[in-house]
């Protein structure tokens, strides 16, 4: 098991050895200092807290600086905790823990789509017909339930609303290439989030 924090840079494509074009996402990940170890005795659970991202010295307040000082690490912009990984405080995690062929789980906030209708948000098909008096119902949700019974709409009924901008995870993302000098990982296909969003990478 390995874990890392990173930043999505964007997408491009590379060529495989057979000459096939493979779409890939470029991730800048690490170096991530291990800032703190959560233990069962102290915190009730086991986890490793790691940091990522540069931040100017003047933007870090004193309590945060103290937190980093305990582990003798430089302060970072982000802090996240990961379970089920082994690390020592002060250690610096890099992309070198991954190699091509590894399978990853990648979590991030997906792109916010704003207020969307049911066709985009829940893959409804719309009411369908444009004739028979249905002139403006092509993307409508249709019936949302009975009338006198139950006289209410059941909770969880899928309707229009805010879409995206939520934590989304994708499993089994393949590592294509690791560039340790650049702190880069190339993974196959797309990952959640917009460019420059912070992402969590866990080795499966």
Partner 1 sequence: MHPKIALIDQMSKAKSEEIRKTKDGELAQDIPSFRPGDSVTIAVRVVEGDKERIQNFTGTIIARRGSGINATFRVRKVSNGVGVERIFPLFSPNIQSITVDRNGHVRRAKLYYLRGMSEKKIRQKLR
Binding residues for partner 1, per CB under 8 A? 9-15, 17, 19, 21, 24, 26, 28, 182, 184, 186, 195
Cα-trace Rg, the chain: 23
3-state secondary structure of 11: strand
- What are the C-alpha distances in Å from 67 to residues 70, 82, 147? 6, 18, 58
Rank residues 6 and 141 by Cβ distance to partner 1 and give the closer one.
6
| Cβ 5 to partner 1 shortest distance, Å | 17
Our CB check for partner 1 shows the closer of 6 and 33 to be 6
Closest separation in Å from C-beta 12 to partner 1? 5
Q: For partner 1, which is the closer residue by CB, 71 or 177?
A: 177
Other CB atoms within a 10 A radius of the CB of residue 102 amount to 16
Residue 73 Cβ vs partner 1, minimum distance, rounded to whole Å: 24
Judged by CB, which is closer to partner 1: 18, or 41? 18
Q: From the CB of 15, what's the least distance to partner 1, in Å?
A: 5
Number of C-beta neighbours around residue 29 at 10 A: 23
Minimum distance, C-beta of residue 9 to partner 1, in the bound complex (Å): 5
The phi and psi torsions of 11 (rounded to 5 degrees) equal: -120, 155
HSE-up (13 A, CA, CB side) for residue 171:
1
What's the CA gap between 43 and 151, in Å, rounded? 48
Instruction: Give the residue carrying structure tokens 């990984």.
Output: 85
User: With respect to partner 1, which residue has the nearer C-beta, 12 or 39?
Assistant: 12
Q: What DSSP designation does 180 have?
A: G
């Amino acid at each position: 098991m390995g874990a890392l924090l990173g930043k999505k840079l964007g997408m491009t494509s590379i060529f495989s050895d057979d000459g096939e074009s493979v779409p890939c996402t470029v991730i800048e990940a690490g170096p991530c200092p291990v800032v703190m170890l959560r233990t069962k005795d102290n915190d009730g659970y086991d986890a490793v807290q790691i940091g990522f991202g540069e931040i100017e010295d003047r933007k870090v307040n004193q309590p945060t600086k103290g937190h980093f000082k305990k582990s003798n690490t430089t302060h970072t912009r982000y802090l996240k905790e990961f379970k089920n990984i082994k690390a020592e405080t002060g250690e610096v995690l890099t992309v070198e823990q991954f190699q091509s062929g590894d399978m990853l789980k990648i979590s991030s906030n997906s792109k916010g789509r704003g207020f969307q209708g049911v066709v985009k948000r829940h893959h409804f098909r719309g009411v369908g017909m444009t004739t028979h008096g249905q002139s403006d119902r092509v993307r409508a949700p249709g019936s949302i339930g009975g009338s006198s019974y139950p006289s209410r709409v059941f909770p969880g009924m899928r309707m229009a609303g805010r879409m995206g901008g939520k934590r989304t995870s994708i499993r089994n993302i393949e590592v294509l290439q690791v560039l340790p000098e650049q702190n880069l990982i190339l993974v196959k296909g797309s990952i959640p989030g917009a460019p420059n969003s912070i992402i969590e990478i866990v080795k499966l």
